[in-house]
């Protein structure tokens, strides 16, 4: 299991999207890279991200907060496992607020969720592009 590491503020323009130490922990599971483990994990993650992000967009449009909370819950742990720690925190906050029915300030948090999802997707795609087969 990957260890959680403290992250910087989402407003910090210099923060990395994917925690290098978390990625290193993944790489240690396949030190030679011969099995393509990291690429498989990241590929699976990005497909999950895209699917759950689409579900969240539809749920937002339809006011289906329970569906959105489930998408955030799923992405919370998956994101932490690939080093998207800030996104994982955003997902946890969103899920918690929905579960507690704190819906009055949800819109800016949803905007942040989708914005960070785009940053994570871009960072994972860059990692996949730099992965050696």
Alpha-carbon span 38 to 114, nearest angstrom: 24
- Per-residue confidence (pLDDT) for residue 34, from 0 to 100: 86
Determine, yes or no, domain membership for 5.
Answer: no
- Per-residue confidence (pLDDT) for residue 14, from 0 to 100: 46
- What per-residue string of b and e applies to 116-126 under the rule 16 or more CB within 10 Å gives b? bbebbbebbee
Query: What's the domain range around 93?
Result: 20-27+34-130
Domain count of the chain?
1
- Per-residue confidence (pLDDT) for residue 9, from 0 to 100: 53
pLDDT tens-place string over residues 40-83: 999 999 999 999 999 999 999 999 999 999 999 999 999 999 99
Determine, yes or no, domain membership for 4.
Answer: no
Determine, yes or no, domain membership for 7.
Answer: no
Assign 3-class secondary structure to the chain.
CCCCCCCCCCCCCCCCCCCHHHHHHHHHCCCCCCCCHHHHHHHHHHHHHHHHHHHHHHHHHHCCHHHHHHHHHHHHHHHHHCCCHHHHHHHHHHHHHHHCCCCCCHHHHHHHHHHHHHHHHHHHHHHHHHCCC
Given a cut of 50, is residue 1 above it in pLDDT?
no
**Residue 100 belongs to domain with CATH number:** 1.20.120
Determine, yes or no, domain membership for 3.
Answer: no
pLDDT band at 132 (very low <50, low <70, confident <90, very high): very low
Determine, yes or no, domain membership for 9.
Answer: no
Determine, yes or no, domain membership for 95.
Answer: yes
């Amino acid at each position: 299991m990957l260890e959680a590491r403290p992250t910087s503020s989402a407003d910090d323009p210099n923060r990395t999207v994917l925690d290098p130490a978390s990625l290193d922990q993944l790489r240690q599971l396949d030190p030679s890279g011969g099995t393509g483990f990291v690429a498989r994990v990241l590929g699976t993650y990005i497909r999950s991200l895209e699917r759950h992000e689409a579900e969240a967009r539809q749920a937002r449009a339809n006011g289906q907060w329970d569906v959105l909370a489930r998408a955030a819950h799923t992405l919370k742990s998956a994101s932490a496992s690939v080093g998207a720690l800030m996104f994982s925190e955003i997902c946890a906050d969103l899920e918690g607020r929905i579960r507690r029915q704190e819906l009055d300030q949800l819109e800016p948090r949803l905007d942040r969720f989708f914005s960070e999802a785009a940053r994570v997707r871009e960072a994972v795609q860059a990692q996949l592009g730099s992965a050696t087969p």
